[in-house]
A = this chain, B = another copy of it.
Amino acid sequence: MSGLFERHRPTVEAALQATVTRDFWSAYPEVPSGKIYGETAKDDGLAAYTARLGKTFVLADHPAEGSVGAEVSPFGPPLGVTYPAASVDMLIMASRAAAPQWAAASPQVRTGVCLEVLARLNARSFEMANAVMHTTGQAFGMAFQAGGPHAQDRGLEAVTYAYAEMTRTPAQATWTKPQGKGAPIVMEKHWCVVPRGVSLVIGCNTFPTWNSYPGLFASLATGNTIIVKPHPAAILPLAITVEIIRQVLVEEGFAADIVLLAADAPGSEITKDLVQHPAVAIVDYTGSNSFGTWVRGNAGTADVYTEEAGVNSIVIGSTDDFAGMCSNIAFSLSLYSGQMCTAPQNIFVPRGGVDTNEGHKSFDEIAIGIAKAVDGLLADPARGAGVCGAIANPATLSRIAEARSLGHIVRESAPIEGLDDARTATPLILAVDAADTDAFDEERFGPIAFVVAVDDVTDGVDRAADLAERKGAITAALYETDEGKILAAADRFATAGVNLSVNLTGGIYVNQSAAFSDFHVTGANPAGNASLTDAAFVANRFRVVMWRRPVAA
């Protein structure tokens, strides 16, 4: 049964190397091209997605006592897909029943299964792109990348770290202890990897695959059984994922129930009952700080890994590319209408303005420069739709409306032309003073940004880092030409546990985090207690147990 591991060994070995060098590396092409994925892949993916609509999603032999499903595309139509619904007790019982067989499989066999699953997910990236697009509101191109290859890369990264950790201790060794002039004591020792139990993966609405795959694949590779609990508004991408995993498991002679889907209905979520169940040994959670706090406080003895939320900041001190800076920031604010956990919210700008390659720019000129760059980026409606996509949650529109009174409006939010059935909104940009903390001192999820007047770059960095320490932050960006100030800011943001991007002006954005190079979330501030993916994320998902005996003389 280790044929899959051998088939995918080159990928594992390249991935192991990538975690060490941290140069660019990806196993799954991010370009949605027919030349890579097959000339008919795009049409096939759309057809596969369309064929799901209005139907029952069949997961062969999955426990069920009914069905649920109420997804509605942020681009308009309801999906009409229903999924098997099972009680918490049914899910736990089925998960535990499947556990011994999976625990007994070797790390290589389990790693091989994970790699095969990832390869099949990759081949179905176009189908997944449609599923992600119509559950999250991401534009197609982003849904393809973030929901497909980039999520697969994050899954592979987790499997890679898990494989490295599981194989760090040998399966067997001989221990020879000298005894002076006497014969040495010689022992044979055997170690095995023992999983923790049932692993619960709680998905989010906006990145159902990207944020779930690391925990899912880390737990699966380390021998745990998995219950995938999708957000009720974004079930389909994880249902497809579970379907593929169950297919591979069965093909390899394992019980399908090693991975289960815990679909539920909005307002009748079973998440809390799952989190509190004593059989659940691991919880991976992506979502709000408030529910994250509940999960961390109520998971009993389970290990909990969270990505929660925070307030991300940009600090502007000076720049030698004013236009590049403005258009880079504009893209970061606009991409997926600010619904990325990595999107910036607060832009700290010195009250007296900053020096640029276009001369000194006042605070207002900078705010307007960014606003105009957003206007330019989104001027063409098709391009605007491709950048912004749609709004996942209706509450985000209310939040934008409420935010309008919080400061001086530099740029109005507006719907995107041509997406008439969709829920859309371009970035709202407000100018405030650092004293107006009520406005910008908390997360306002969605396309809402504040340009905040501060004393100088140091003041801005301090405020941004302090906010990260109090409320969490996943990203920070700095524009500064003075090397000393850059290094000082890097130190300050490091202390606050925030990954910092400096002087981004080209085709790379503060929102982006690349598997195998950029750790996502540090675990060092309230935006999450774990990092995707480091050794700490995987090493506790299993235990090592030994038996030993003397070697006969």
Contact of A549 among B24, B501, B514 (CB under 8 A): B501
Considering only residues 171-194 of chain A, those with a C-beta below 8 Å from chain B are: 173-179, 185, 187, 189-192, 194
Beta-carbon contact of A517 and B175 below 8 Å: yes
Most buried by B among A296, A301, A524: A524
Residues in B whose Cβ lies below 8 Å from that of A494: 192, 194, 545, 547
Beta-carbon contact of A546 and B519 below 8 Å: yes
The CA-CA distance from A501 to B501 in the complex, in Å, is 53
A523, closest chain B residue (CB): B543
Contact of A23 among B175, B501, B518, B534 (CB under 8 A): B175
**Minimum CB–CB distance for A32 against chain B, Å:** 14
Beta-carbon contact of B23 and A490 below 8 Å: no
**Copies of the chain in the assembly:** 2
Beta-carbon contact of B549 and A517 below 8 Å: no
Beta-carbon contact of A501 and B543 below 8 Å: no
The reply on A531 being an interface residue by CB < 8 A is yes
The CA-CA distance from A544 to B23 in the complex, in Å, is 17
A553, closest chain B residue (CB): B506
The reply on A271 being an interface residue by CB < 8 A is no
For A, the interface residue count at a CB cutoff of 8 angstroms equals 67
A193, closest chain B residue (CB): B494
Residues in B whose Cβ lies below 8 Å from that of A490: 190, 547
Beta-carbon contact of B547 and A500 below 8 Å: yes
The reply on A5 being an interface residue by CB < 8 A is no
The reply on A169 being an interface residue by CB < 8 A is yes
The reply on A20 being an interface residue by CB < 8 A is yes
**Minimum CB–CB distance for A40 against chain B, Å:** 23
Considering only residues 143-163 of chain A, those with a C-beta below 8 Å from chain B are: none
Beta-carbon contact of A194 and B524 below 8 Å: yes
Residues in B whose Cβ lies below 8 Å from that of A189: 22, 517-518
**Minimum CB–CB distance for A480 against chain B, Å:** 10
The reply on A170 being an interface residue by CB < 8 A is yes
Beta-carbon contact of A546 and B499 below 8 Å: yes
The reply on A318 being an interface residue by CB < 8 A is no
Kindly list 5 other residue pairs between chains A and B, CB separation below 8 angstroms, not including A500-B547, A501-B547. Answer: A177-B508, A194-B524, A494-B545, A536-B539, A540-B540
29 pairs, A vs B, C-beta closer than 8 Å: A22-B169, A22-B170, A23-B174, A23-B175, A24-B176, A169-B534, A173-B517, A177-B508, A187-B508, A192-B494, A194-B522, A301-B529, A490-B547, A494-B545, A499-B545, A499-B547, A499-B548, A500-B546, A500-B548, A501-B549, A503-B550, A504-B549, A504-B550, A522-B543, A522-B544, A534-B544, A535-B535, A535-B539, A536-B539
A residues adjacent to B (C-beta < 8 A):
20-24, 100, 103, 165, 168-170, 173-179, 185, 187, 189-192, 194, 196, 296, 301, 486, 490, 493-495, 497-508, 514, 517-519, 522-524, 529, 531, 534-536, 539-540, 543-550
